Amino acid sequence: MDKQDELLREAEKLAKHMSLYQHDIAPDITPHARCSVDAVEELLDECDKKWKQMEEFQNRLTLLGTETLSESDAQLTLLMMQVKALTAECNQWQKRSPELLPDNQEILLAMGKEELQKVDHELEMMLSCVQSKNRKLKEDLQREQKWLEEQEQLVKALTARQEELRNLVVETSETRIIEELSNRIVKIREYEKELLEALGEFLEEHFPPPEEQRSTNKKKKGLSTEPPAQLITLHEILEEESSIYLCASFCGFHSDF
């Protein structure tokens, strides 16, 4: 296990060394970034060397693990080694302090332009997202305003229809009341006529007119010098009074409406 620990320490050193050169890798050469070919080749050569060293250490760890470990504990030990390696790398990243950038101005210019392009691309994406969201909100607002206008028109139409129906109900109720009262008046007049006819028959039978009595008295006593008085029967008096009462009631009802 001492050899494994030694290899792990060497891997940690290599990981630390790789993290130091992580920002020194040359970005993609854009038409606007003019870097010298020598500087790019130098960085690429250093990267290739470090990657070869990493592959060598990984191969040595693999061979050492197969020689010293049994089949039953191989998987557990491999997991423990991975945990240790990740823990060591995490500690290195936590302890890492900002390193100075290379002095090559061309590399710095290329890196700065790449970062600016990334930021510009992210800002464009954010702007596009915000504009799309604003367009959607504007469409939603227009749709809600249109729906509100339709609802207001519907409310106005229903209010006008309600007023029409209310007036129609009032007119219909008044007309119906007038018709019902007119029918009642007609029935009352018919009933009055029947009562007056029955009353007239009763009076003619039991209370004859005074003219008939006078004619009989004249026959008995002879001619009289007094002029004849204009007399009306009780039947006519009752008929006239009832007609006056009904006319007054009907006129008062129409004046109320």
The CA distances from residue 206 to 112, 129, 195, in Å, are 138, 113, 16
Is residue 103 classed as helix, strand or coil in its secondary structure?
coil
> What residues contact residue 231 under an 8 Å CB cut-off, 6+ apart?
209, 210, 211
The predicted pLDDT at position 147 comes to 94
User: Given this model, what pLDDT does residue 164 score?
Assistant: 86
The amino acid at residue 127 is: L
DSSP 54: H
Q: What pLDDT was estimated at residue 34? A: 46
Rounded CA-CA distance 70/74 in Å is 6
pLDDT tens string, the chain, 257 residues long: the values are 555 566 566 666 665 655 554 444 444 444 444 446 677 677 777 777 777 777 777 777 766 655 554 555 667 777 777 788 888 877 777 776 655 556 677 777 887 888 889 888 989 998 998 999 999 999 999 999 999 999 999 999 999 988 888 887 777 777 788 888 888 888 888 887 888 788 778 777 776 666 555 555 555 555 455 555 566 666 677 777 777 766 666 565 555 55
pTM of the complete model: 0.30
Q: Is residue 29 within 8 Å of residue 114, measured between CB atoms?
A: no
What Å distances lie between residue 33 and 44, 101, 112, 115, 144, CA to CA? Answer: 17, 18, 10, 12, 51
